[in-house]
A and B are shown apart, each in its own frame.
Chain A
Amino acid sequence: MKKLLLAAIMAVVITGCSSNSSYVKVVDDSMKDDISIEKINERVNSESGLKELQVLGENETNKYMKLRYRVVWFDKDGFEIKSIGQNWTELPVYKNADFSIHIVAPNKAAVDYRLFINK
């Protein structure tokens, strides 16, 4: 019983410690077979101190698509940081080709993000 309680406490502590709640989400289910997210790269630019995000994906269909994306940034405490990146930005995606989204954080406080990709 003691072991079980300890394990439960550890699980809560570990979950509580992991602050990274960033993710990339394809909003429209109908697109899930059409595009794939291959890789997500993150770095903090040493010159600017701003976090950068690069999402690499692929258009697996035989047709050109015009997608849109928007990103919402959060500070280390999970508070949303308003920025112009919250508006939908158009993204041309050529048929059977890779695509990339490169975004820079609005300021140094922005550490977590939620990137939404839609039609």
Chain B
Amino acid sequence: MKHVTKIALSAILAVGVMSGCADKTERIDIHNDKGDQVMGLDYRDFNQAAGEAVQSMLMSGAVDKKNGDRYVLAISRITNDTMQHIDTDQLIKKIRVELLKSGKVVVTTAVGANGPEDKMSKQARELRKDDEFNQNTVQKKGTMSAPDLSLSGKILQRNVAMDDGKQQVEYYFMLSLTEIKTGLAWWEGETIIGKRGSGKSVSW
């Protein structure tokens, strides 16, 4: 009986220790996240950079078309020049969504620096040759809108070793809005986010 009690107690103890060790996964409250900063880029940094870019663009008047109409914007090359694996859409998508909501810009997915984002606009037109499709429902020639503006940019990272062994990481979000007709940049913006932490921290 003593032996059984011992085993039972050990089992309870082991379960207690194991559940105590297991880190609980928590969902982040992205609306008020006061969690520690990381040396790499996280969603808070992208939110800040995108928010500043949109506010600056709307204030500049660069996206105000004279007759109140909307500009057609193409997304050009956004270079990730950091040591991190970033999908630059993390930044650009937020900007696109806000510009679309502003009613001043509409983004074309049929033209892009790396080819169309959505190939279907072109592929659906290949149905012109296909007798199986009602040709009245196939898009006619000359219906697509060419872009007026192009958004390009770069996310840059610079690592600086501090005297006290710490590391400073600077991130530069650099964006340009170019009028395609003239090739002139109508708007340019830069957001700098700097982080300082342990030299042992990895920022990629």
Measured CB to CB, the residues of A under 8 A from B are: 45, 47-50, 52, 82-90, 102-104, 106-108
Taking A85-B51, A87-B51 as contacts, is the C-beta distance between A106 and B61 under 8 angstroms? no
Residues in B with CB closer than 8 Å to A90 are 48
Q: How far is the CA of A87 from the CA of B102 in the complex (A)?
A: 17
Taking A48-B61, A84-B50 as contacts, is the C-beta distance between A104 and B55 under 8 angstroms? yes
Asked if B54 and A84 make an inter-chain contact with CB atoms under 8 angstroms apart, the answer reads yes
Task: Tell which of A82, A83, A84, A103 has the most Cβ of chain B within 10 Å.
Answer: A84
Asked if B101 and A48 make an inter-chain contact with CB atoms under 8 angstroms apart, the answer reads no
B47 contact from A82, A87, A106, A107, Cβ within 8 A: A87
Residues in B with CB closer than 8 Å to A104 are 55, 58-59
CB A82 to nearest CB in B, in angstroms, measures: 8
Residues in A with CB closer than 8 Å to B103 are 107-108
Asked if A107 and B102 make an inter-chain contact with CB atoms under 8 angstroms apart, the answer reads yes
Mostly helix, strand, loop or mixed at chain B's interface?
helix
Asked if A106 and B101 make an inter-chain contact with CB atoms under 8 angstroms apart, the answer reads yes
For chain B, the bracket of interface size reads 20 to 34
Q: Give A85's nearest chain B residue, CB to CB.
A: B51
Asked if B64 and A84 make an inter-chain contact with CB atoms under 8 angstroms apart, the answer reads no
Asked if A47 and B61 make an inter-chain contact with CB atoms under 8 angstroms apart, the answer reads yes
10 nearest CB pairs, A to B: A104-B58, A84-B51, A48-B64, A87-B47, A107-B102, A107-B103, A47-B64, A84-B98, A104-B59, A47-B61
Give the number of residue pairs across the A-B interface with Cβ within 8 Å: 46
Mostly helix, strand, loop or mixed at chain A's interface?
loop
Taking A47-B61, A47-B64, A88-B32 as contacts, is the C-beta distance between A106 and B102 under 8 angstroms? yes
Residues in B with CB closer than 8 Å to A82 are 101
Question: Is residue B94 contacting chain A, with contact meaning CB distance below 8 A?
Answer: yes
Q: How far is the CA of A47 from the CA of B102 in the complex (A)?
A: 14
Q: Give B94's nearest chain A residue, CB to CB.
A: A84
Q: How far is the CA of A6 from the CA of B51 in the complex (A)?
A: 49
Residues in A with CB closer than 8 Å to B102 are 50, 106-107
Question: Is residue B31 contacting chain A, with contact meaning CB distance below 8 A?
Answer: yes
Which residues between 36 and 93 of chain B lie within 8 Å of chain A, taking CB atoms? 47-48, 50-52, 54-55, 58-59, 61, 64, 68
Q: How far is the CA of A45 from the CA of B50 in the complex (A)?
A: 22
Q: Give B30's nearest chain A residue, CB to CB.
A: A87
Q: Give B63's nearest chain A residue, CB to CB.
A: A48
Q: How far is the CA of A42 from the CA of B41 in the complex (A)?
A: 35
Question: Is residue B104 contacting chain A, with contact meaning CB distance below 8 A?
Answer: yes
Residues in B with CB closer than 8 Å to A106 are 58, 98, 101-102
Q: How far is the CA of A84 from the CA of B104 in the complex (A)?
A: 16
Asked if B59 and A102 make an inter-chain contact with CB atoms under 8 angstroms apart, the answer reads yes
Residues in A with CB closer than 8 Å to B48 are 87, 89-90
